[in-house]
Amino acid sequence: MQSLWTLQDAKNKFSEVVNAARAGTPQVVSRRGKPAVVILSTEAYDRLLKQGDGAPTSFRDLLLAMPQNPEDEDECSTRMDVQPREVEF
């Protein structure tokens, strides 16, 4: 489970933050009450980088990476059968 530190506490106890991250627990540092950064061990960071290999780099790549099996098209893109309501002008 990750720990949450204020920026000031993380500065004052940086060795403790680093030791906890190296032990495998991500450390979240907040700034002005909102999470700002996460400190990870290099092993955890390397795992994240490897998971990201081959990931789409643009919206176009993301669209092209979508599964395109025509047999499953009905399962993927089902629409509700909704009738429009009558409108008076």
Question: Is the pLDDT at 21 greater than 70, yes or no?
Answer: yes
Mean pLDDT of all residues in 17-33: 94
Closest CA to 40 of 51, 32, 29: 29
- Residue 15 located in a structural domain: yes
- Answer positive or negative: Cα dihedral of 67, 73, 75, 76: positive
Task: Provide, rounded to the nearest whole percent, the portion of the chain with pLDDT above 90.
Answer: 46
- pLDDT of 76 > 70? The answer is no
Residue 75 located in a structural domain: no
**Domain count along the chain:** 1
Mean pLDDT, residues 9-38 taken together:
95
> What mean pLDDT do residues 21-36 have?
94
d(CA 10, CA 12): 6
Residue at 78 is within a domain? no
- Lowest-confidence segment of 3-17, 27-41, 64-78 by average pLDDT: 64-78
Q: Tell me the backbone φ, ψ of residue 44, rounded to 5 degrees.
A: -65, -40
